[in-house]
Amino acid sequence: MFAKRREDFPTLRAENPPAYLDNACMTLRPDKVISAVDDYYRVNPSCGGRSVHRYATRVSRQVTSCRQKTAKLVNAPLTDEIIFTRNATHSLNQVAHGLSWQKGDIVLTSDREHNSNLVPWLQLEKEQGIDHRVVKSNDDNTFDLEAFEAACADAGSRLRLVSLAHVGNLDGVAIPLKEATKIAKDHGALVCSDGAQSAPHMNVDVQDLGIDFMAFSLHKMLGPSGMGGLWGRMDLLKDMRSIQSGGSTVENTTYDSLTWAKPPAKFEGGLANYAGIIGTNAAIEYLSEMDMAEIHEKETSLNKVMSSIIQDVDGVSIIGPRDASLRGGICSVLLDNIDSHDVAILLDEAAGVMVRSGMHCVHSWFNEHQIKNGSVRASVYFYNTEEEVRLFAETLVEAVDVLG
């Protein structure tokens, strides 16, 4: 079933395609998405939501359709709760800089957050005096619910917001977000989740999770570059400050007053990335034809294959729990005394395997663990094959032998 889908991707149809295992950074795009972007520029190269001519009307309809599909994918109660942004980083910044803060308000994150879910809080700490606290994970990087509950209790009435990656890009570990949300809510906090690594790979139901905000990275789910999304509860969005005010964020202005537009328009200032939204419409349509649970299962089965080849080799260790089924589609390998970039270059040049190396924007975790060389991270999507992950793992083991 997934094998047939490889035919939909130009880079995978090419002769001798590389083993593309950098999907946690950005996924490949199927023809459908590329054609939708191309069609936008060739057929309807216009803005939506403003002009009333035919081009604009068609663009507006596609934008609405994309919003509806995205809302359905994550089970958002209202279509207008979906805001299109540049990326997940922009979405998280909208939450951080859109809520209003009192000095001393406490924000909790985990110790394995992407910089996009750390830097905005560090910035607010410096600029507005919030108190950002980090909850340590268990030794195997799984979420420590007890420590989290204790941190919530310790924060007391000052606890304002909890912001957690649903799935970590460092190691693919999913946190028990529903349980953590329940605890946070019992302590009176809002919950924001970074869904950049969960929404592309598993069923995400924002209502069932009970959260208040979720950030998405649409370019990690087959959409065009430069596309992200934010879902937020309408009652919160109504009161939240827009970090990008201007054209289309207002209903009316005078020289000294304004009337804000309703969400999502209030947050989507300026001409949008229409090509990106229209491409995303095709991407979400493509993803919605598949069963997200099957995608997740395929990814963990590929992870088991690569992890089993790597995990007992001397001089290497995989970040996160030994059980690969707890690490989704990510296998992130630490190498004793070998630079991760050297291995990544070798993998590409010698075997055509594309991975990510370095600190994956989670410098804080590497610094805490005093790891200087970063890791070599392979991350799969539904179109990857067992041959590709074997090639990665076997070449990595050979590289360690040669370079170690």
Ligand X SMILES: Cc1ncc(COP(=O)(O)O)c(C=O)c1O
Interface with ligand X: number of residues (CB under 6 A) = 15
Which strands, in side-by-side order, build the sheet including 356-358? 316-318, 330-335, 375-379, 356-358
Contact between 217 and ligand X by CB under 6 A: the answer reads yes
Buried b (16+ CB within 10 A) or exposed e, 315-352: ebbbbbbeebebbbbbbbbbbeebbbeebbebbeeebe
Q: Which of 29, 112, 114, 296 binds ligand X (CB under 6 A)?
A: 114
Max Cα–Cα distance, the chain, nearest Å: 70
Please identify, using beta-carbon distances, which residue of 119 and 261 lies nearer to ligand X. Answer: 119
Please identify, using beta-carbon distances, which residue of 196 and 343 lies nearer to ligand X. Answer: 196
Please identify, using beta-carbon distances, which residue of 155 and 215 lies nearer to ligand X. Answer: 215
Give the shortest CB-377-to-ligand X separation in angstroms.
Answer: 10
The one segment of 109-117, 153-161, 292-300, 311-319 that binds ligand X by CB under 6 A: 109-117
Q: Which of 184, 192, 196, 324 binds ligand X (CB under 6 A)?
A: 196
Contact between 279 and ligand X by CB under 6 A: the answer reads no
Give the shortest CB-379-to-ligand X separation in angstroms.
Answer: 9
Contact between 89 and ligand X by CB under 6 A: the answer reads yes
How buried is residue 206: exposed, middle or buried, by Cβ count under 10 Å (0-12/13-18/19+)?
buried
Give the shortest CB-197-to-ligand X separation in angstroms.
Answer: 5
Q: Which of 169, 181, 193, 300 binds ligand X (CB under 6 A)?
A: 169
Give the shortest CB-48-to-ligand X separation in angstroms.
Answer: 22
Q: Which of 334, 354, 352, 356 is nearest to 141 (CA)?
A: 334
What distance in Å separates the CA atoms of residue 154 and residue 156, rounded to the nearest whole number?
5
Give the shortest CB-200-to-ligand X separation in angstroms.
Answer: 10
Contact between 197 and ligand X by CB under 6 A: the answer reads yes
E strands, 136-189, in order: 159-165
Give the shortest CB-177-to-ligand X separation in angstroms.
Answer: 13
Among 25, 47, 66, 361, the active-site one is 361
Give the shortest CB-194-to-ligand X separation in angstroms.
Answer: 5
The one segment of 32-40, 87-95, 135-143, 156-164 that binds ligand X by CB under 6 A: 87-95
| Type of residue at 257 | S
Q: What are phi and psi of 26, to 5 degrees?
A: -165, 135
Q: Which of 200, 223, 224, 228 binds ligand X (CB under 6 A)?
A: 228
Give residue for tokens 């149809």: 13
Please identify, using beta-carbon distances, which residue of 68 and 115 lies nearer to ligand X. Answer: 115
Contact between 194 and ligand X by CB under 6 A: the answer reads yes
Q: Which of 157, 152, 269, 162 is nearest to 214 (CA)?
A: 162
Contact between 174 and ligand X by CB under 6 A: the answer reads no
Q: Which of 382, 73, 383 is nearest to 203 (CA)?
A: 73
Q: What are phi and psi of 74, to 5 degrees?
A: -105, 10
Structure tokens at 386: 């067992």
Task: Give the dihedral of Cα atoms 58, 61, 62, 64; nearest 10 deg.
Answer: 160
Contact between 248 and ligand X by CB under 6 A: the answer reads no
Q: Which of 23, 27, 44, 87 binds ligand X (CB under 6 A)?
A: 87
Please identify, using beta-carbon distances, which residue of 108 and 196 lies nearer to ligand X. Answer: 196
Give residue for tokens 């936008």: 40
Please identify, using beta-carbon distances, which residue of 195 and 351 lies nearer to ligand X. Answer: 195
Residue 361 falls in the annotated catalytic set: yes
Cα–Cα separations (whole angstroms), residue 334 to 339, 352, 386: 10, 21, 22
Please identify, using beta-carbon distances, which residue of 116 and 137 lies nearer to ligand X. Answer: 116
**Contact between residue 136 and residue 108 where contact means Cβ atoms under 8 Å apart:** no
Structure tokens at 280: 């995303």
What distance in Å separates the CA atoms of residue 70 and residue 122, rounded to the nearest whole number?
30
Contact between 223 and ligand X by CB under 6 A: the answer reads no
Which sequence positions are flagged as catalytic?
A: 361
Binding stretches for ligand X (CB under 6 A)? 24-25, 87-89, 114, 116-117, 165, 169, 194, 196-197, 217, 228
